[in-house]
């Protein structure tokens, strides 16, 4: 590697190393403070104890099956937001009057705290996975509709004209030109929707004490298993981060050039 190249690599790696070192130093200091009795270990368990309880939480609390339960709910909500969101966005694009009348309502719904209606969903769907899925679906639908509309409306005029010059039918025009052109923007909506869905699904699982990872945290907290609670929270954070990173990678693959 040339000298400037090496300088670049060091310059890129150094901040990341400082970030990681700071996090490690923070947890080491916390461990010291707890072991020294400065911080109450019955409020904040030592990081070593949290790391040690990971294995127990994995085996005894069936974390893998809980993970797949939450993942299943997310996938179900994801399929629903994709189908209904894309269809809704297409309807708004196709019928301009409907778009003018309802686009602001959809945007307002995106700002509404839908998850607070979870008791209402429990009354309608019972304390079941459907309550969780439906909240994830309703909360995540608006960004998919709005981004689909944005993607279809933003199709370049020249592409549409090329379609017209080939005498494409309405259906061909949509599937061969509009849909592929709008796909990257639509995926942004689906990505945002999936993030909203995951946040709401884990949150409602925790609140109604039902389902996968959210329920696990609630269970452990109610048993006052402090180290287990912290370990489960760390696991949920890890799952969320991996989920967001994968979605981001998929989006970059779909939209290589901005």
Partner 1 sequence: MAETGRLTRTAPSAPLLSPVTLLRVAIILGVLAGWELLSRSGWLYRDVVPSWLAIGKALADLLSSGEYYFNLGVTAAEIGAALAIGGISGMAVGILLGANRFLAKAFEPYLYYLGPTPKIIFFPIMIMWFGVGPGSKIALGTLSCFFPVALSAAAGMRQIDKVLIKVGKSFRANTWQTVWKIYLPAMRHPIINGVRLGLGVALIGTLLAETKLSNKGVGFLIIQAYSVFDMPRMYAMLIVLFVLAIGANALVGRLGGLHTIRR
Q: Which is nearer to partner 1, 80 or 247 (CB)?
A: 247
Q: Which is nearer to partner 1, 111 or 171 (CB)?
A: 111
Q: Which is nearer to partner 1, 16 or 158 (CB)?
A: 16
CB of 228 to partner 1, least distance (A): 11
Q: Which is nearer to partner 1, 79 or 120 (CB)?
A: 120
Q: Which is nearer to partner 1, 78 or 214 (CB)?
A: 214
d(CA 147, CA 161): 23
Q: Which is nearer to partner 1, 42 or 253 (CB)?
A: 42
- Tokens 């150094």, residue? 14
40 DSSP 8-state letter: -
CB of 212 to partner 1, least distance (A): 12
Question: Which residues make up the interface to partner 1 (CB under 8 A)?
Answer: 12, 14-16, 18-19, 22-23, 43-44, 97-98, 100-102, 108, 111-113, 115-120, 122-124, 195, 198-200, 202-203, 206-207, 214, 217-218, 220-221, 226, 229-230, 233, 236-237, 240-241, 244-245
CB of 109 to partner 1, least distance (A): 9
Query: Encoding tokens for residue 195?
Result: 């993030």
Query: Encoding tokens for residue 233?
Result: 């929270």
Question: Within 10 Å of residue 166's Cβ, how many Cβ atoms?
Answer: 11
**Contact indicator for 213, 65 with CB cutoff of 8 Å:** no
**Contact indicator for 134, 174 with CB cutoff of 8 Å:** no
CB of 220 to partner 1, least distance (A): 8
CB of 175 to partner 1, least distance (A): 28
Helix 47-60 and helix 3-35, axial crossing angle in degrees, nearest 10: 90
d(CA 251, CA 255): 6
255 DSSP 8-state letter: -
Give the helix ranges, DSSP H, for the chain: 3-35, 47-60, 63-94, 96-111, 118-125, 129-153, 157-165, 170-172, 179-208, 213-222, 226-254
CB of 205 to partner 1, least distance (A): 9
């Amino acid at each position: 590697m040339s000298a400037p190249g090496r300088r670049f690599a060091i310059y890129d790696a150094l901040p990341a190393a400082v970030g990681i070192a700071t996090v490690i130093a923070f947890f080491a200091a916390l461990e010291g403070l707890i072991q020294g009795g400065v911080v109450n270990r019955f409020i904040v368990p030592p990081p070593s104890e949290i790391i040690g309880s990971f294995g127990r939480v994995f085996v005894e609390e069936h974390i893998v099956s809980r993970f797949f339960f939450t993942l299943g709910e997310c996938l179900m909500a994801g399929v629903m937001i994709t189908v209904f969101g894309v269809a809704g966005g297409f309807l708004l694009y196709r019928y301009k009057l409907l778009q003018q009348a309802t686009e602001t309502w959809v945007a307002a719904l995106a700002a509404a705290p839908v998850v607070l209606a979870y008791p209402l969903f429990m009354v309608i769907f019972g304390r079941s996975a459907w309550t969780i899925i439906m909240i994830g679906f309703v909360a995540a639908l608006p960004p998919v509709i709005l981004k689909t509309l944005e993607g279809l409306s933003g199709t370049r005029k020249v592409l549409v004209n090329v379609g017209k010059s080939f005498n494409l039918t309405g259906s061909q025009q949509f599937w061969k030109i509009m849909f592929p052109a709008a796909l990257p923007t639509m995926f942004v909506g689906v990505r945002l929707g999936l993030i909203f869905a995951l946040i709401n699904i884990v949150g409602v699982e925790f609140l109604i004490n039902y389902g996968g990872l959210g329920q696990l945290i609630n269970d452990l907290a109610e048993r006052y298993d402090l180290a287990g609670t912290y370990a489960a929270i760390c696991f949920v954070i890890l799952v969320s981060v991996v989920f967001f990173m994968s979605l981001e990678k998929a989006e970059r693959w779909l939209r290589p050039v901005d």
